[in-house]
Amino acid sequence: MDRFLAGDESTFELIYRKYYDKVFAIARGVLIDSDEAADAVQEIFTLVYRHLKRFDRRSKFSTWLFRIAVNRSIQEARKHRFRNKPLELTEAMSKEAPVEAEDMDPKVQTTLAKLAPQDRALLTLFYWEDLNLNEIADSIGCNVNAAKTRLYRARERFRAVYEAEQ
Amino acid sequence: MKARMPQDVERLMWMVAESNDQKAIQDFESRFPEFASELSKRRRMVSELKGAKSTHVPDARIPDFRLRGEPKVSSPKGMWVVGGIAFAALLMASYSVTKMVNTPPTKLPVVEPVVTKPIENPNTTVYTNPTPVPNITTPPPMNPPVNPNPAQSGEQLKTLKLSNTSLTAALKMIGEMAGYRVDVAPGFEDQQISIDYVETTTSEMLKDLGMRYGFTAFDQGDGSIIIVPAIDSGTPIGGTGEPPRRLGG
């Protein structure tokens, strides 16, 4: 990253490859659809490329990156929320798997699809990225207590939908 | 009935379910055997949720990074500003429409009604029909006399000179000149006449002839004129005291 900030733009490819997995997981957790997630990842890294100089190093680079990933993914999810109808999800599940990732468990996918993008982001950061509450708080831009409360509520909402699906 | 779980137990159960530590699970189940099945459900749910994460993407399958144009990031502040402007515009439009609808129409200058007195023609002869008219409760619609004011109607002026011709033939000719069919009502007495009209309108000719030979021409409104013989004055119509239809002439 220092080399990139020093003007060596070719090093950005290393940053991209190092964090692609994690950013893709966040985007997929929020957007659910793999193709949309892959598209969002490109936009997220474009933002990072253009605004890396704004990174003030007060937090870890990954936290700063995840924050951008979460915000951008939620924005995309809001744009696409009317497209993600249950029927399309069912159809999408039966389609050929995308190149980037394997299909998500259908029940988990259906449950996540019924939650708000913010809830999906919290569950993704906690269960998929294994971030602790401090890191989650930094990533979603709130304090630790708020992050803890939001995570608890998101988990309860997930459980309610998940159990209703059975 | 399912026992309601205390909040601290609930929190503990989530921790145990998420840790997936066998010893912690056994401890929880021994302390809270009534929640053992609930713990099992949550462990399964957490396991499936964690397992839904996409597996590691091999480096070879990572698509190349392509720098895109600046993504449009709509800041919340910007959205509020745009929303505020839209709301203000809506308010203005609503105010304008309401004002426009509620404004009373501008007062037009009041024109004093002009009362015109009908000019009584002392020479007008009112005729009455010698044949009795049946009692009519509803007055029949009055047909307007043919062009009572020819000067305003824009009728064409015509010249007609006939000598020793039947009145009926003369009337039909006058009517045809103006594009009318002329029908003569029963009881009309035909006679030989001579006329000489120069630059006169059709209605004036009919009026003049009506005065001279005792009839009135009524425009039927369907392109025809009916010639009705005049009636004697003094005979009440149908005995009702109803005023007689005014006849031209």
Q: How many CB atoms lie within 10 A of CB B14?
A: 17
Q: Which of A40-44, A159-163, B106-110 has the lowest mean pLDDT?
A: B106-110
pLDDT for position A92:
45
Contact B38, B5 (CB under 8 A): yes
| Best residue in A46, A126, A133 for a mutation probing chain B (most B CBs within 10 Å) | A46
Smallest CA–CA distance from A76 into chain B, residue: B73
At residue A111 the predicted structure's pLDDT band, cuts being 50, 70 and 90, is very high
Radius of gyration of chain B (CA): 51
Q: A165: which chain B residues are within 8 Å (Cβ-Cβ)?
A: none
pLDDT at B54 over 80: no
Residue of B48, B54, B73 to mutate when probing chain A, most A C-beta within 10 A: B54
The pLDDT value recorded for residue A69 is 94
pLDDT number for residue A100: 46
- One-letter amino acid at A47 equals L
User: Which 80-139 residues of chain B touch chain A by CB within 8 A?
Assistant: none
Taking the CA of residue A107 and the nearest CA in chain B, the distance in Å comes to: 9
pLDDT value of residue B127: 47
- Closest CB from A16, A21, A47 relative to B56: A21
Nearest CA in chain A to B71: A43
pLDDT band at B201 (very low <50, low <70, confident <90, very high): confident
Residue from B38, B37, B52 nearest A111 by CA: B52
Question: For residues B45 and B119, what is the distance between their CA atoms, to the nearest angstrom?
Answer: 106
ipTM value for the complex:
0.77
CA dihedral sign, ordered B82, B87, B91, B94: positive
Which of B51, B54, B66 is facing A42, going by the closest CB pair? Answer: B66
Q: Do the Cβ atoms of A138 and A63 come closer than 8 Å?
A: yes
Inform me whether the pLDDT recorded for A84 exceeds 70.
Answer: no
Residue given tokens 């505020």 in the structure block: B84
Closest-CA distance, A152 to chain B, in angstroms, reads 9
Give the mean pLDDT of A95-110: 63
| CA pair distance A133, A146, nearest whole angstrom | 10
Residues of A in contact with B51 (CB under 8 A): 105, 108
Query: Residue B50: pLDDT band by 50, 70, 90 thresholds?
Result: confident
The number of beta carbons lying within 10 Å of the beta carbon of residue A162 is: 22
For residue B72, is pLDDT > 80? no
* Cα A20 to Cα A100: distance, rounded to the nearest angstrom: 11
Q: Which residue has the higher pLDDT, B66 or B3?
A: B66
